[in-house]
Amino acid sequence: MKLDDAKEIIKEFVDEPIVNFQIEKSIFDQDIGRELYNQTIRQQVERKHGVYIWIDKDTEEIVYIGMAGKIKTDGTLGDHSIQNRLLASRGKDKMTKKDIQTNDYIKGLMSEHNIKTLDFYIIYSKQDEPPAYIEALLLYKYYKQNRRLPKFNSSF
């Protein structure tokens, strides 16, 4: 699946424009690399709900599809925006038991998989459109086309 395919699948559920920016692996070579990543996210990503797609710029492969914004039982969306999601902890490291921040997670993925540049596509959902549904559509179509998930999605 390519980005244009993804956009077509979800176009009725999302707002335009789609935000696009890059994170270079070299940013993390700097002493303030983590802060520069966080600054980029704060400048580029609004505190809105929706989905985000990471693409390896060299191969043009979608490597991750994620979302932010869960619906509560009363029908309202939670306050965890895409910006918050891209700045928050990704969970605990199995060995150290410490939280892994998203900036460290991305740095590790880029190093381990020799990715020089990640293209970030931020797609905000329309009001009353659940980001989880939009993410599910994308993951389902990706799976049906490739018989696997994007390489950094661990489950669906």
Tell how strand 19-24 and strand 117-124 pair up.
antiparallel
Residue 140 has pLDDT above 90, yes or no: yes
pLDDT of 100 reads: 87
pLDDT in tens, 25-38: 999 999 999 999 99
Q: Which alpha helices (H) appear in 11-152, and where do they start and end?
A: 33-44, 82-87, 102-112, 131-146
First-to-last alpha carbon distance for the chain, in angstroms, is 16
Between 144 and 79, name the one with better pLDDT. Answer: 144
| Number of domains, the chain | 1
Q: Do the domain assignments include residue 126? A: yes
Show the domain range for 95: 3-146
Give the 3-state secondary structure of residue 45: coil
Q: Do the domain assignments include residue 92? A: yes
Grade residue 71 by pLDDT with cuts at 50, 70 and 90: confident
Model pTM score: 0.92
Residue 146 has pLDDT above 90, yes or no: yes
Radius of gyration, CA atoms only, the chain:
15
Report long-range pairs for 67-70 (Cβ below 8 Å, ≥24 apart): 67/131, 67/132, 67/134, 67/135, 68/131, 69/125, 69/130, 69/131, 69/132, 70/131, 70/132
- Mean pLDDT rounded to a whole number for the chain: 93
